[in-house]
A = this chain, B = another copy of it.
Amino acid sequence: MTTDAKILAALRANPSGVSGAHLAEELTISRAAIWARMDELRQAGYNIEAGPHFGYRLVSAPDALHADDLLARLHGQREHPRQPEHNPQKHPTANIATHHKIGRDIRVFEETTSTNDVIEKLARDGVPEGVVVFAESQTKGRGRLGRKWVSPTHKGLWFSILLRPELSPQETTQLTAASATALRRAIQYVTGLAVVIKWPNDLLIGGKKVVGILTEMSAEVDRVRHVILGIGVDVNQEVEDFPPEIRNIATSLKIESGQAISRAELATTILRELDADYARIYSGKFSELADEWETGCATIGQKVSVQMGSRLIRGCAEALDDDGALLVRTEHGHLERVIGGDVTLEK
């Protein structure tokens, strides 16, 4: 962690205040240097009080993504998981060991073409797995099947994660499942909203899409080189922030919950949950994760139509196959295995 990240971590761990002398000793820098860092954090929008009795105290943080702050929060959540304000639920991964891979390195861009593009370059440069790139806005955000993803500045979380899993290309559906379950737990935990999975890994609230995930990989036929998880979460948009043509199919956490959500808190909760599910895959507990995926998947039992290339399949989504494929019983009684394509829930 950087010095700023350590200072923010100490402030968050000590809500009643921490003394400058103590901080200076911990970080082995002078008290004047601590004072200078606090001043810079204030200029970045952090409201930090100082007083002779309590030392330094964090009153509020700006709703901006700040790499050091995200690192500090992630570290703090791991050390001291605590209840969020809006939700009395149990800490979702209290019993899941994390392996602290995802989020070891966090980078925030004010604007980029697409965070997947940035990670792609880092991957080619040999950067280790776990690096996360956030952007406050994307000029060429993209979704599945080459579609455009609208990502208005400061309103959502647009980020990508580099993974280098020891999986075959066939096994990457495990990451599809992990991303769906982890995002669902994190959003339910921070907002208290009921979230369902639309197969394979879209997340819906009240039937409208709130999260999209694009999983890209570079591989040999039998070996994955790297996987890029690209994630878009609609957080604090108002209805009018969405283009009119998607207002009946897309929503934000703010619209659904009626209150603004701390993007930084949500971001680090998501990273912690993703890390926990990535650890579950590595420790041979994928079946546990698959059960959670199927439980959260609202597509099961529904009438669906699936566009696979030029073919349209209509029927009832019966279950998930062992490898994550969707099993659809057609009108003619055949059971079709769907591994991809565009699934529409029919009314």
> Which A residues have a C-beta under 8 Å from some C-beta of B?
144-145, 166, 168-170, 172-173, 175-176, 200, 214-223, 309, 339-341
Contacts and interface: CB of A to CB of B under 8 A. Distances in A.
Contact of A169 (B176, B219, B309): B219
Given A170-B170, A219-B219, A220-B340, 10 more contacts: A145-B220, A145-B223, A169-B170, A169-B217, A170-B339, A217-B217, A217-B218, A217-B220, A222-B340, A222-B341
A200 B220 CA distance: 12
Contacts of A217: 169, 217-221
Nearest to A215: B221
Contacts of A223: 145, 340
Which of A145, A166, A215, A217 has the largest number of chain B CB atoms within 10 A? A217
Contact of A168 (B216, B222, B340): B340
Contacts of A341: 222
Contacts of A166: 309
A168 B200 CA distance: 15
Most chain B CB inside 10 Å of its own CB: which residue of A170, A200, A221, A222: A221
A220 B215 CA distance: 6
Give 8 closest A-B pairs by Cβ, nearest first.
Answer: A222-B340, A169-B169, A215-B221, A222-B339, A172-B221, A176-B221, A170-B170, A217-B219
Nearest to A144: B220
B221 A340 contact: yes
If over half of A's interface residues share one DSSP class (helix, strand or loop), that class is named, otherwise mixed; here it is: mixed
A216 B339 CA distance: 21
A125 to B, nearest CB: 14
Residue in A200, A215, A220, A309 whose Cβ sees the most chain B Cβ within 10 Å: A220
Contacts of A168: 339-340
A176 B170 CA distance: 15
Given A168-B339, A169-B170, A169-B172, A219 B221 contact: no
A221 B220 CA distance: 14
A240 to B, nearest CB: 31
A72 to B, nearest CB: 33
8 contacts: A144-B220, A168-B340, A169-B217, A170-B339, A176-B221, A200-B221, A221-B340, A222-B340
A173 B218 contact: no
Nearest to A172: B221
Contact of A220 (B214, B220, B222, B309): B214
